[in-house]
C-alpha cells in the first residue's frame, strides 16, 4: 500500500499546503503581471508567479527536507530512500539531480521524468509502484516548474496562452491557460510513523499517439489511463468522488478530457464533481501532477472541493458536473488526478482518503 506521509508545496499563493488551501478557497486566481522578464512583444503578459527568480534545485531541496521532516524520516531512513524527479530537462539536469539527492541525504536519483505536463503524476506512479511491489520501503518524489522567458515565449508564440490572463477551464469562451510557478515534494511509504495524507490506490499511464500536439477528440488516452487506474485499484467508477482535471482551458483539450471522463466513469461520469484548479494556481507544467496531488489531499482532508474558477457559462462539448460554488463535498472517498501532455501522454492517479 502506497501512503503519502509527508508533503510540501510552493505556488504563487505562497509556501506550504495552508497557503495553497487558503488561495483555493479565496477563489481568486494568483495571477499578476510578469516582472521576471520582459513580455512587451508577447500577446500575453500575466502568470501566477512567486516573487523573484527562484532556483529550481534550491527550492526542491527545501521542499524535500520539509516533506521528509513531516514524515518523520530519520537520517538512516533518508539514506535508504531514492529520489524520483519531475523537471524540464536541460544539459546539466543529471548532475544537478545527483547533487540534490546527496544534499538531501537520499540514496540516489532513480529517475527523472520529463513527460511534459504528465511528468509529476507519472513520477508519483513510479514511486507507488516501487512501494507497492516492495522494491522500496519509501520513495521521495519531487518536481518543479518556474515560469521562464523561453517557455513563456514558446506558449505565447503558439497562441496558446490566455491573452487576458484568465483561464476558464471547461467554460464557454475559454481561450487558453495561464502559466504558473509550482514545486512540491512528497514522501511515499508502505508504512509510516505519521497519519498519511492519503493513499495512492491506483495509477494509469497511456500514450494515444494521435497527434504531436492535438488531442484525440474522444479522449482515448486519458480514458485508457483512468480505466487502468481503476482496474489497478480494484475500484469501480462509483467510488470516484472528485476529478481534479488537467483542463488547461484550451478548446480541444478540455473537450477531449470531458469525453474521457464521461466515457471512463460511465454511467456515473456526468455525476462526478469536476474542477481544474489551474484556473487558480496556474498551469505548473512538469510539476502539475504533484501540485494537484496536494490539492486533492487538502480537498479530501477538509471534505470540500475547490471551485472551477473563471467559468462564464456551459459549453456543449464539456457536459460535466463542474464545481462552481464553495461548499461541495466529494461524492465518494476517492479522487482522480488527471494530467496530459503534448504527444498524447496521459497519467492518472487514483487517490484514496486516509
Q: How many CA atoms lie within 13 A of 252 on its CB side?
A: 11
213 is catalytic: no
284 is catalytic: no
283 is catalytic: yes
Bridge-based pairing of strands 198-207 and 345-353 is antiparallel
Query: What is the C-alpha to C-alpha distance for residues 263 and 230, in angstroms, rounded to an integer?
Result: 13
C-alpha cell at 35: 516582472
Query: What is the C-alpha to C-alpha distance for residues 209 and 206, in angstroms, rounded to an integer?
Result: 9
Query: What is the C-alpha to C-alpha distance for residues 218 and 143, in angstroms, rounded to an integer?
Result: 30
Q: Write the CB contacts of 301 (distance below 8 Å, at least 6 apart in sequence).
A: 197, 198, 353
Q: Which of 88, 246, 281, 311 is catalytic?
A: 246
Q: Which of 104, 117, 284, 296 is catalytic?
A: 117
Q: Which of 281, 283, 311, 334 is catalytic?
A: 283
Active site members: 117, 246, 283
Amino acid at each position: 500500500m502506497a501512503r503519502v506521509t509527508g508533503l510540501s508545496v510552493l505556488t504563487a499563493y505562497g509556501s506550504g499546503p495552508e497557503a495553497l488551501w487558503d488561495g483555493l478557497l479565496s477563489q481568486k486566481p494568483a495571477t499578476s503581471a510578469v516582472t521576471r522578464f520582459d513580455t512587451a512583444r508577447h500577446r500575453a503578459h500575466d502568470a501566477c508567479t512567486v516573487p523573484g527568480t527562484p532556483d529550481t534545485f534550491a527550492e526542491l531541496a527545501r521542499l524535500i527536507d520539509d516533506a521528509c521532516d513531516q514524515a518523520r524520516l530519520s537520517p538512516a531512513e533518508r539514506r535508504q530512500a531514492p529520489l524520483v524527479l519531475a523537471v524540464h530537462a536541460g544539459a546539466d539536469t543529471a548532475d544537478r539531480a545527483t547533487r540534490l539527492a546527496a544534499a538531501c541525504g537520499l540514496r540516489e536519483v532513480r529517475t527523472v521524468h520529463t513527460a511534459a505536463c504528465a511528468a509529476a503524476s507519472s513520477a508519483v506512479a513510479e514511486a507507488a509502484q516501487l512501494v507497492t511491489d516492495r522494491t522500496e520501503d519509501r520513495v521521495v518524489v519531487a518536481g518543479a516548474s518556474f515560469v521562464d522567458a523561453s517557455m513563456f515565449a514558446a506558449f505565447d508564440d503558439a497562441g496558446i496562452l490566455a491573452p487576458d490572463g484568465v483561464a476558464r477551464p471547461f467554460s464557454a469562451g475559454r481561450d487558453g491557460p495561464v502559466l504558473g510557478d509550482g514545486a512540491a515534494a512528497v514522501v511515499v511509504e508502505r508504512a509510516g510513523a505519521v497519519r498519511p495524507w492519503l493513499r495512492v490506490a491506483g495509477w494509469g499511464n497511456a500514450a494515444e499517439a494521435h497527434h504531436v500536439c492535438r488531442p484525440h477528440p474522444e479522449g482515448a488516452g486519458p480514458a485508457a489511463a483512468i480505466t487502468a487506474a481503476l482496474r489497478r485499484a480494484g475500484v469501480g467508477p462509483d467510488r470516484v468522488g472528485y476529478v481534479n482535471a488537467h483542463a488547461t482551458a484550451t478548446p480541444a483539450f478540455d473537450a477531449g478530457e470531458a469525453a474521457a471522463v464521461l466515457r471512463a466513469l460511465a454511467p456515473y461520469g456526468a455525476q462526478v464533481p469536476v474542477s481544474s484548479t489551474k484556473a487558480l494556481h496556474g498551469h505548473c507544467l512538469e510539476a502539475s501532477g504533484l501540485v494537484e496531488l496536494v490539492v486533492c489531499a487538502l480537498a479530501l482532508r477538509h471534505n470540500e472541493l475547490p471551485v472551477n474558477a473563471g467559468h462564464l457559462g456551459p459549453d456543449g462539448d464539456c457536459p460535466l458536473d463542474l464545481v462552481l460554488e464553495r461548499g461541495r463535498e466529494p461524492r465518494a472517498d476517492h479522487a482522480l488526478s488527471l494530467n496530459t501532455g503534448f504527444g498524447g501522454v496521459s497519467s492518472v492517479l487514483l487517490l484514496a482518503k486516509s
